[in-house]
Amino acid sequence: MENKNGAKNIYKPAFKDFALKDVKLLDEYYASLTQKDVDFLNTFNPDKLLYNFRLTAGWTKEEIQDGRFDYAKNGNIATSSYSGWENTRIGGHTLGHYLTAAAQAIAQGLGGCKGDDGITLDKRVDYLLEGILDCQKKNDELCAKNQNRHRGFIFGATMADPQQPELQFDKVESTNASDTWVPWYTIHKLMNGFVETYKLTGKKAALEIAENLGEWIYTRTARWDDNLKYRVLGIEYGGMNDCVYELYKCAAATGYVQSEHFLQAAHKFDEERLYEKINSGVSKETGTIKAGIDLLNNRHANTTIPKYIGALNRYITLQGKDGSDKYLEYVENFWDLVVNHHTYITGGNSECEHFGRDDILDAERSNCNCETCNTHNMLKITRELFKITGNKKYADYYENTFMNAIMASVNGETGMTTYFQPMASGCFKNFCNPDVNKNYFWCCTGTGLENFTKLGDSFYFYNNGDTPAGSEATLVANQFVSSSVYWEEKGVTLVQKSGIPQTDKTSFTIKSGKADGTSFTLMIRVPDWIAGKPVLKINGTDDNTAITDGYLKITRNWKNNDTIELTLPMNIVPYTLADNKGTVFAFKYGPVVLAAELGKDKAMTLRQVGVQCDVAANKIIFGKLMNLNGNYGGTSGLPVLEGETICTNGVPVEKFMNDINEHLVRVDGSNSANGTSNGDNLAFELRDTDWETRDDGDTPHKPLIFSPYYKLNDQRYGIYWLFSEKQNNESGILDSKRAARDTRVYLDGIGVGYGAQTEGNAKTYPCMEEKRTGSVGDPNALTRYAKKGGSFSYLFQVEPGKKNYLVCGFLMEDDGKTICIKCGKVIIAEFILDSAAQISKSAEAVIKAAGEKQSSTSSSEKYFMRFELPQKAVKTAKKFDGKNVIRISFSGKNDDESARIVSPAKTCTEYSHNAGIESLNINGTKAEVLPNGNLKATAPKNAAFIKLNVKLNDGNGLLYINDKLVDDSKEISIPVTTNPLLLGLKIYAEDHETAVEKSLLINMQ
């Protein structure tokens, strides 16, 4: 493959980016988000950020608290680090993000902003750098006395052993990586913070720290052979290659004599085996990457994406030489695979932090999609690919993802940011805590800090006429946000005033001090969402500049106050998902993704998935609530609630979507969610569907209103909806009943295979104990298995006095392996895996019992089985954290290697078996129960319908009327076809197995 700029080993990027200081945000909303970010940064106490770094460097707690460290000199001494992730083995990552975010703000002239303590952002950064330099000095002094310390080292995690400050790094190099979390990931955040601070602010201390730390990295990695390298790189390491290549460039430019060390160290983090593996999907015929071979399946997305940021930086650093041209190809192919086969309409990707199978996206819509770090990092790759290739597809993706994932990740009121963005309809976003002392400091909190102090970094690009993109100096306008850019070489400022997406118009004005004008090419992107042709006017006169490579390229001698008016027509465009093509749809209007406003309610509660990551605990569609109980690794495959399917009243869905602009109609949105909170009025009403005639009960029925997703921050929403020509509710009823019963009996779930965060350790629940097991720290598969002679066990919650079950999953490809599940000496199950037999015996009961709706493709891989826990075992329950727990262990039979256990493993109590009707009313009157149990009632003569209200003994049971499953939670209308009317009722208990049959005779009189 060749780039637009010719052979890849001739390095000539198409465009350069502008310095942050040269781009000004004129859009009030955007500018306010940057200010809120800066204000939040100014609430941080630098001594708290530095607290664990000082402990690691060798100061004692007493020394740290004796008054020597007091950033504001007001006696307010830090006595701990921050909480949440900052107080764990990943602690210290926030300081890196903080520096990057603050440096970006300082570069834009915001360094003088002060916090309530009177300290400016600029001073805070200086204090942090000084603090870290002191840590390095202290560490270096102690090196002579402690062979476990090495020069240049700094770290801010909680330490397991103060005598071994580098223990986490030693462990990831050994075969036991337990209780380490991801130390190289943390180093990446820090190194990136120092290097960016130096680049953006010129602060020399930042470069000095980075060089010292870089030498420590060089020394540690120089002795890695390939075996050791790939063992270490099996654990998330962020973009270590990226930041150390960046350090190399800075160090080399300032004449640092050992800068080659950094070039070598950076390359240690280039994962050629991964790059080659993913590239093996490139088709020999087309040269493009193929989907359907699942090369990304089960890979942790935010582990994988930054590896490619680093790969791209190798290409940039070596300028295509020494084989680095191959690296550009790696990144282009990876980008294509992610964007075209793993990405939702918003530009986000992943479910519970992981990529799934190629094009399996509808089945993975949950409350845990689209981790914000992933989109942040995809955009980092995207802007570099744009600069290198000049290919418009990168600018299109950038706009979409920036608008609908990054701008959607922030609460405009508080400035706080998201971790996940649910793609399951009926959920809502959750933002981190605005109180710095209560924040959990997620990874995404850190990237969130960075995102909003560089909003304008990819609006404009330029070149000076010296690249293959053209011999004329060129200014590129890629995004349509009110802003200005100052082009120093030309002495020109371009001012953009954009009405998009409220209107389809934007305008540009040239500000130039030169009386005789300035000659250059202005390139304006013609976006992929345009509906029709762009309409261009220059100084009020129609201009028919043709579209070249997706851009309007206008070359002329620009004079002061020259104006360009541009109309970019927009309309509604439906987008489907490959694994449910033609049924599931989401909508964009111009550049913005729309979401249906589903309102606020009291049930908008949170629960934690993984480590202190709180997510929507339930979803509600049309009054039906589904609890989302899945733990880390078990949150996808949600059943569809009945109300999620919208009926197009007999119009074929394809036709409905072709005519969508007649059915999703712009309305006055001043009363919509965005209208009230932000003064915007972009809103659309969905018409010509069954939604309009749905019965809400007592409340007045509201139409379904769609508005821009990125501003829908404080209520439930639905981006994706299922569409059907006719109403077919049976599967919806069944799915929601299954979900509800599993919610009722659910006790506990464990994210098997993910490591300390969800498998616990000696002290933290669920307190995994293991010896000789596999999958430790392996981000590619959420499974655990016992090796020969090994076993693993967890505490599981049980409910004494009831029947309890263990539900766990297996992989079909493990057929022939054995599993032995025990509680103490009591055997719960012991057998040889034979998936065909085990599924056929009770496929319904087995798979559905686990509350899992398997996507059609993944059901061929894993299946779930339910085992009753013997009372002998349940009786041994002890209290832990207020729960009744028993320890359940897994091993192979006769100490052989065991089959893999798939996440999540759950415990639950039994379904109820009470089949029957508690009450049945006809037109408001109770039916008479005959001695034989059948029912009898009367209804008015001439009635066209009778209205039935039924209450089942088991609320999660099923009611069939004349063999048709009906929704017993609502009033049921039945047409009167005969007199008398005889109906056959079949009522199932919650187990959906126990059933009774009754007849209902209705006389019209």
Max CA separation in the chain (angstroms): 103
312: Cβ–Cβ under 8 A, 6 or more apart, which residues? Answer: 242, 327, 328, 331, 381, 384, 385, 388
- Confirm if 152 and 218 have CB atoms less than 8 A apart: no
Using rule CB under 5 A, residue 609 touches Zn ion: no
**Nearest approach, Cβ of residue 444 and Zn ion (Å):** 3
Enclosing H/E stretch for 1004: strand 995-1004
Q: Which of residues 916-975 bind Zn ion (CB under 5 A)?
A: none
Between 443 and 750, CB nearer to Zn ion: 443
**Nearest approach, Cβ of residue 609 and Zn ion (Å):** 13
Q: Which of residues 355-414 bind Zn ion (CB under 5 A)?
A: 371, 373
**Nearest approach, Cβ of residue 373 and Zn ion (Å):** 3
**Nearest approach, Cβ of residue 347 and Zn ion (Å):** 15
The residue assigned the tokens 């350069």 is 16
Q: Strand pairing partners for 694?
A: none
Amino acid, res. 1000: L
Between 22 and 86, CB nearer to Zn ion: 86
Question: How far is it, in rounded angstroms, from Cα 476 to Cα 469?
Answer: 11
576: Cβ–Cβ under 8 A, 6 or more apart, which residues? Answer: 582, 583, 584, 585
Between 122 and 371, CB nearer to Zn ion: 371
Q: Is 450 helix (H, G, I), strand (E, B) or coil?
A: helix
- Confirm if 748 and 760 have CB atoms less than 8 A apart: no
Binding segment for Zn ion (CB under 5 A), chosen from 13-21, 158-166, 441-449, 806-814, is 441-449
**Nearest approach, Cβ of residue 411 and Zn ion (Å):** 17
Residue 598's alpha-carbon distances to 424, 426, 643, 670, 729, in angstroms, are 13, 7, 12, 16, 21
Question: How far is it, in rounded angstroms, from Cα 973 to Cα 957?
Answer: 20
Binding segment for Zn ion (CB under 5 A), chosen from 435-443, 475-483, 808-816, 941-949, is 435-443
Q: Is 173 helix (H, G, I), strand (E, B) or coil?
A: helix
- Confirm if 917 and 953 have CB atoms less than 8 A apart: yes
Binding segment for Zn ion (CB under 5 A), chosen from 380-388, 440-448, 870-878, 917-925, is 440-448
- Confirm if 159 and 165 have CB atoms less than 8 A apart: yes
**Nearest approach, Cβ of residue 189 and Zn ion (Å):** 11
Question: How far is it, in rounded angstroms, from Cα 588 to Cα 586?
Answer: 7
Q: What are phi and psi of 666, to 5 degrees?
A: -65, 135
Between 452 and 461, CB nearer to Zn ion: 452
Kindly state the DSSP code that residue 641 receives in the 8-state scheme.
P
Q: Residue 686 is encoded by which pair of tokens?
A: 């969905």
- Confirm if 555 and 520 have CB atoms less than 8 A apart: yes
925: Cβ–Cβ under 8 A, 6 or more apart, which residues? Answer: 937, 938
Between 373 and 786, CB nearer to Zn ion: 373
Between 243 and 1002, CB nearer to Zn ion: 243
Between 368 and 444, CB nearer to Zn ion: 444
Q: Which of residues 267-326 bind Zn ion (CB under 5 A)?
A: none
**Nearest approach, Cβ of residue 974 and Zn ion (Å):** 52
Between 54 and 97, CB nearer to Zn ion: 97
**Nearest approach, Cβ of residue 260 and Zn ion (Å):** 33
Between 278 and 443, CB nearer to Zn ion: 443
Cis before 468 (ω within 30)? no
Question: How far is it, in rounded angstroms, from Cα 587 to Cα 717?
Answer: 13
Binding segment for Zn ion (CB under 5 A), chosen from 235-243, 304-312, 328-336, 444-452, is 444-452
**Nearest approach, Cβ of residue 632 and Zn ion (Å):** 14
Enclosing H/E stretch for 263: helix 259-268
**Nearest approach, Cβ of residue 584 and Zn ion (Å):** 26
- Confirm if 999 and 983 have CB atoms less than 8 A apart: yes
689: Cβ–Cβ under 8 A, 6 or more apart, which residues? Answer: 646, 647, 648, 649, 663, 704
**Nearest approach, Cβ of residue 435 and Zn ion (Å):** 20
**Nearest approach, Cβ of residue 409 and Zn ion (Å):** 10
Between 214 and 422, CB nearer to Zn ion: 422
Between 361 and 444, CB nearer to Zn ion: 444
**Nearest approach, Cβ of residue 440 and Zn ion (Å):** 11
Question: How far is it, in rounded angstroms, from Cα 572 to Cα 529?
Answer: 9
Between 309 and 373, CB nearer to Zn ion: 373
Number of residues that bind Zn ion (CB under 5 A): 4
**Nearest approach, Cβ of residue 382 and Zn ion (Å):** 18
Q: Which of residues 533-552 bind Zn ion (CB under 5 A)?
A: none
Q: Residue 259 is encoded by which pair of tokens?
A: 């800068």
Burial class (CB in 10 A: 0-12, 13-18, 19+), 75: exposed
| 78, 135, 443, 922: which one binds Zn ion (CB under 5 A) | 443
User: Over the Cα atoms of the chain, what is R_g?
Assistant: 31
**Nearest approach, Cβ of residue 947 and Zn ion (Å):** 51
Report the DSSP pairing between strands 995-1004 and 935-939.
parallel
Binding segment for Zn ion (CB under 5 A), chosen from 388-396, 443-451, 854-862, 921-929, is 443-451
**Nearest approach, Cβ of residue 97 and Zn ion (Å):** 11
Kindly state the DSSP code that residue 362 receives in the 8-state scheme.
G
Question: How far is it, in rounded angstroms, from Cα 392 to Cα 208?
Answer: 39
Between 610 and 760, CB nearer to Zn ion: 610
Between 279 and 445, CB nearer to Zn ion: 445
- Confirm if 908 and 807 have CB atoms less than 8 A apart: yes
Question: How far is it, in rounded angstroms, from Cα 38 to Cα 23?
Answer: 17
Question: How far is it, in rounded angstroms, from Cα 396 to Cα 389?
Answer: 14
Between 421 and 689, CB nearer to Zn ion: 421
Residue 186's alpha-carbon distances to 158, 424, 618, in angstroms, are 12, 31, 32
Q: What are phi and psi of 521, to 5 degrees?
A: -100, 130
Question: How far is it, in rounded angstroms, from Cα 775 to Cα 959?
Answer: 45
Between 443 and 667, CB nearer to Zn ion: 443
Using rule CB under 5 A, residue 444 touches Zn ion: yes
Q: Closest Cα to residue 363, out of 735, 839, 753? A: 735
Between 782 and 798, CB nearer to Zn ion: 782
**Nearest approach, Cβ of residue 81 and Zn ion (Å):** 20
**Nearest approach, Cβ of residue 374 and Zn ion (Å):** 7
Between 462 and 754, CB nearer to Zn ion: 754
**Residues engaged in binding Zn ion (CB under 5 A):** 371, 373, 443-444
